[in-house]
Amino acid sequence: MSINMLVLILSVLVCLGSALWGASASCLPEGFTLLSDIDSSILQDIRYYSAHNFLGRRVEGYNAPVCILSRPAAEALSAVQKDALKAGYSLKVYDCYRPQRAVNDFVAWSQNPYDFLTKREFYPTLEKMVLFPDYIATKSGHSRGSTMDLTLVKVADPMPQQATYLPGQPLVRLRRYALLPLFL
């Protein structure tokens, strides 16, 4: 076995280990980065890694609860974060890069007419099939790595801890720490 082959095998094993125990920037495609490597002050609540999303379970392709973005998008968010912090707010991201297999998982979920586990919380007034294409796309802009779902939250001193989500639990808002939507 050549030294080049051994190095390749070791690199693959390191990336596989990273996928099992958390993301590693060294395993990302060129031009992509972990948001936390650019700005660790931006809050992350990667919902598709958890059961607290419209599928009611972890979405295929989300192997770690991290925000992956193109480097320019992460740097732009960091610049916005600096201004937000000065005003007493912080960015909070819910979704960033979305692999196509996650989008395929959304489509497969939509084709199960008996799965309404999260309808009451996430799409109470809509029928499942009308979620496409207005709310969920079969080809997502998130897959390019420069689209994200985010909000602004008021920074508290100290920042309140988010309660652990239990499947089926409704969303609640603390009056003192209201969420403000932000669309970029």
Q: What is the 3-state secondary structure (H, E, C) of 102-136?
A: HHHHHHHHHCCCCCCCCHHHHCCCCCHHHHCCCCC
- pTM for the model: 0.69
Q: Show me where the domains of the chain are located.
A: 1-28, 31-181
The answer as to CATH 3.30.1380.10 being correct for domain 31-181 is yes
pLDDT band at residue 137 under the 50/70/90 scheme? confident
Instruction: Determine the average pLDDT of the residues in 20-27.
Output: 52
CA–CA separation, 137 and 157 (whole Å): 38
Q: Please determine, for residue 65, whether its predicted confidence score (pLDDT) is greater than 90.
A: yes
pLDDT band at residue 15 under the 50/70/90 scheme? very low
